[in-house]
């Protein structure tokens, strides 16, 4: 399908894991995708794009900083973007009783930086009918051991997006959040036992794959989703229903 042909998307943290899956899913629908990354190589996602109807190009910038966000924005023309998907995140395990303040600040900066540092430019960058989407997690509304920095960052992100949804709606831009649980990235992990337990509890039959969440992103980019505004859409195969 090429129902997103001629559309342009930006995906932060788009060269690996969930971000790469989102970029590939959009490219497979014909979109021109800009993947942002901080330290990773973009070779793998660029190679995947060669077999797809859309295109992918990479922009290296640290979007947790004002200069990095400015560099990403300056690589784009006003009114040239249809979809902005904020996926970039960092995991810094710590206790709420003994937080690593520098790491906590880093997690918050990556969660909010790409939106806060360019707040005044989104209405001019995104076309009418555009989408501003962000990836959140179940840690925004519940507690996960060691996840306090990321959880607080995601909770703040969800709250800020609600405000953006109200202020960008008159510009024809829909703003929403997609929340998920632990992902099975099909890599070696130290959490194999936890992943197996969560997979067994997931009504959908398996732990969420990056491609599952990427499909939800695509759905919210389709024209038919325009009336969904300021919502947190959970894409976890029903795991949240298992208690």
Dump the DSSP string for 60-122.
E--TTSHHHHHHHHHTS-TT-EEEEEE-------BBTTB--HHHHHHHHHHHHHHHHTTGGGH
Residue 172 in this model has a pLDDT that exceeds 80 = yes
pTM: 0.94
Q: What pLDDT sits at residue 219?
A: 97
Q: What pLDDT sits at residue 243?
A: 67
Distance CA 63, CA 217 (A): 20
Residue 204 in this model has a pLDDT that exceeds 90 = yes
Condensed to tens digits (0 to 9), the pLDDT of residues 214-235 reads: 999 999 999 999 999 999 999 9
Condensed to tens digits (0 to 9), the pLDDT of residues 11-20 reads: 999 999 999 9
Q: What pLDDT sits at residue 185?
A: 81
Place of tokens 């009418």: 128
Q: Which domains does the chain have, with CATH numbers?
A: 8-242 (3.40.50.720)
Residue % of the chain over a pLDDT of 70: 98
Lowest mean pLDDT among 39-48, 149-158, 165-174, 181-190: 181-190
Residue 188 in this model has a pLDDT that exceeds 60 = no
Length of the chain as a residue count: 243
C-alpha distances in angstroms, 203 versus 200, 212, 216?
8, 14, 17
Distance CA 243, CA 173 (A): 34
Q: What angle do CA 79, 80, 86 make, to 5 degrees?
A: 100
Distance CA 63, CA 40 (A): 14
Residue 125 in this model has a pLDDT that exceeds 60 = yes
Alpha carbons within 13 angstroms on the beta-carbon side of residue 150 total 20
Judge contact between 74 and 36, C-beta under 8 A. Answer: no
Over residues 100-117, the mean pLDDT reads 95
Distance CA 137, CA 135 (A): 7
Q: What is the mean pLDDT of the chain?
A: 93
Condensed to tens digits (0 to 9), the pLDDT of residues 18-39 reads: 999 999 999 999 999 999 998 8
């Amino acid at each position: 399908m090429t129902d997103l042909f001629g559309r342009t998307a930006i995906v932060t943290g788009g060269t690996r894991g969930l971000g790469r899956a989102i970029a590939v899913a959009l490219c497979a629908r014909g979109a021109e995708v800009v993947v942002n990354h901080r330290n990773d190589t973009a070779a793998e996602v660029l190679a995947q794009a060669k077999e797809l109807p859309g295109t992918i190009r990479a922009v290296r910038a640290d979007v947790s900083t004002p200069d990095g966000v400015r560099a990403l924005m300056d690589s784009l023309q006003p009114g040239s973007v249809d979809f902005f998907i904020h996926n970039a995140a960092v995991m810094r395990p710590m206790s709420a009783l003994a937080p690593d303040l520098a790491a906590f600040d880093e997690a918050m900066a990556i969660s909010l930086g790409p939106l806060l540092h360019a707040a005044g430019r989104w209405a001019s960058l995104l076309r009418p009918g555009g989408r501003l989407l962000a990836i959140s997690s179940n840690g925004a509304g519940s507690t996960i051991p060691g996840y306090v920095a990321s959880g607080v960052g995601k909770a703040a992100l969800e709250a800020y997006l609600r405000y953006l949804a109200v202020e960008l709606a008159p510009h024809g831009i829909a703003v929403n959040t997609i929340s998920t649980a632990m992902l099975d990235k099909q890599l070696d992990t130290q959490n194999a036992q936890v992943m197996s337990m969560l997979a067994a509890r997931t009504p959908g039959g398996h732990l969420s794959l990056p491609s599952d969440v990427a499909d939800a992103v695509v759905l919210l980019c389709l024209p038919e989703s325009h009336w969904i505004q300021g919502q947190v859409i959970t894409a976890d195969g029903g795991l949240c229903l298992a208690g």
